[in-house]
Structure 1
Amino acid sequence: MTDFDDLLAANRTFADSFSLTGFDGIARAGVAMVTCMDSRIDPLGMIGLQPGDAKILRNPGGRVNDPELVALVLGSHLLQVNRVLVVEHTRCAMASSTEEQIHQRVSDSTGTDATWMSIGPISDQKRQIRADVHRVTSHPLIPDSVEVGGFIYDVDTGLLEQVV
């Protein structure tokens, strides 16, 4: 027995009816989404898409950082991405704590100083979304033809609010 037996058993059940074979890796709906790693978010379901339709990039807070920019450059040139959604969400831990508070919580949990790590909390979600959208739209390797929007997802209603 391993700590992963339940997940491996679920994978075998999943594989028994696996129907996603043969995809070529492009975003069939031309969509990429940068969103938070929060487990309350179903990125494809919230916008009516299916596996194979979109590229999903997740991180704490749904920020557009350097790795996400690289993925968006590749997506826009190699994977038929022509629309990008930057999606933060309500009741996000990254938007409800300071850097110091998060460092303290991690330090308390681990018994180790975590102040060396840059967390990047979000003090104003709408301002951050506008800034992250600007990072995408102003990137020299992302074509002007790529449409970029910024949104807040309400984890209690399932609705998206467009910010920009």
Structure 2
Amino acid sequence: MTSGSAAGSIVPSGNFDDLLAANRTYADTFDLAGFDGVARAGVAIVTCMDSRIDPLRMVGLEPGDAKILRNPGGRVTEQVLVALVLGANLLKVDRVLVVEHTRCAMASASESELQRRVGEATGTDATWMFLGAINDQRAELVESVHKIDSHPLIPSHVKAGGFLYDVDSGLLEQVV
């Protein structure tokens, strides 16, 4: 929680002290200063926000190598397409991995079930909000790759692939 001072400024609460301490340790060995932000490996990864996924390490990359785009389910949304247009045209992205995963909450319940669960958790009706349940991950991956391949602002040399990541083995399976 934050509180305002007499002058109306916001005073941090201390809820993030552990993370800020870890950041100071991270900054001690930070080596990306001056980096221009291009994807050094030419890769963009669209994946789920699930904390079991380490998008860079799962494909042998390091910070600076790829653009990482995360959302519930790893869906190729309009905003993801904007990021891919920018990545492909300005940041040297020439390969896109769309990665969904096993045991995903977005693929294990219907839209109405997810809305019901959110509503119960919040005590507020959530039926008005589209959450993006995925009925068929393999079909979703095919559709996602098609969205990328057919986008008029993503150059034809950019290659997209759809993958299913097994959260129990760490292995990727190429679906499309």
Same fold (TM over 0.5): yes
1:125 aligns with 2:137: yes
Structure 1 position 18, deviation (Å): 1.2
How do 1:71-150 residues align onto structure 2 when only pairs under 5 Å count? 71-150=83-162
In the alignment, the residues of structure 2 paired with residue 146 and residue 41 of structure 1 have an alpha-carbon distance, to the nearest angstrom, of 24
Equivalent of 1:4 in 8, 16, 28: 16
Structure 1 position 22, deviation (Å): 1.6
In the alignment, the residues of structure 2 paired with residue 15 and residue 27 of structure 1 have an alpha-carbon distance, to the nearest angstrom, of 21
In the alignment, the residues of structure 2 paired with residue 52 and residue 97 of structure 1 have an alpha-carbon distance, to the nearest angstrom, of 35
Superposition misfits of 4+ residues, deviation over 2 angstroms: none
Residues matched between the structures, number = 164
Q: CA RMSD in A?
A: 0.7
1:29 aligns with 2:41: yes
SS in 1 for 2:97: strand
In the alignment, the residues of structure 2 paired with residue 13 and residue 19 of structure 1 have an alpha-carbon distance, to the nearest angstrom, of 13
In the alignment, the residues of structure 2 paired with residue 28 and residue 16 of structure 1 have an alpha-carbon distance, to the nearest angstrom, of 23
SS in 1 for 2:134: coil
Equivalence for 2:55? 43
* TM-score, normalised relative to structure 1: 0.98
In the alignment, the residues of structure 2 paired with residue 51 and residue 80 of structure 1 have an alpha-carbon distance, to the nearest angstrom, of 15
* TM-score, normalised relative to structure 2: 0.92
Gaps of 5+ in 1: none
In the alignment, the residues of structure 2 paired with residue 21 and residue 41 of structure 1 have an alpha-carbon distance, to the nearest angstrom, of 26
Task: In structure 1, give the amino acid aligned to 2:117.
Answer: R
Task: In structure 2, give the amino acid aligned to 1:39.
Answer: S
In the alignment, the residues of structure 2 paired with residue 97 and residue 68 of structure 1 have an alpha-carbon distance, to the nearest angstrom, of 23
1:14 aligns with 2:26: yes
Structure 1 position 2, deviation (Å): 1.1
Equivalence for 2:5? none
1:53 aligns with 2:65: yes
Equivalence for 1:66? 78
Which is higher, the Rg of structure 1 or of structure 2? 2
In the alignment, the residues of structure 1 paired with residue 43 and residue 158 of structure 2 have an alpha-carbon distance, to the nearest angstrom, of 10
Spell out, residue by residue over 1:21-74, the C-alpha distance to the aligned partner (whole angstroms, 9 max, x if none). Answer: 121010000000100000000000000000000000000000000000000000
In the alignment, the residues of structure 1 paired with residue 82 and residue 17 of structure 2 have an alpha-carbon distance, to the nearest angstrom, of 35
Structure with the greater relative contact order (CA < 8 A, sep ≥ 6): 1 or 2? 1
In the alignment, the residues of structure 2 paired with residue 136 and residue 17 of structure 1 have an alpha-carbon distance, to the nearest angstrom, of 37
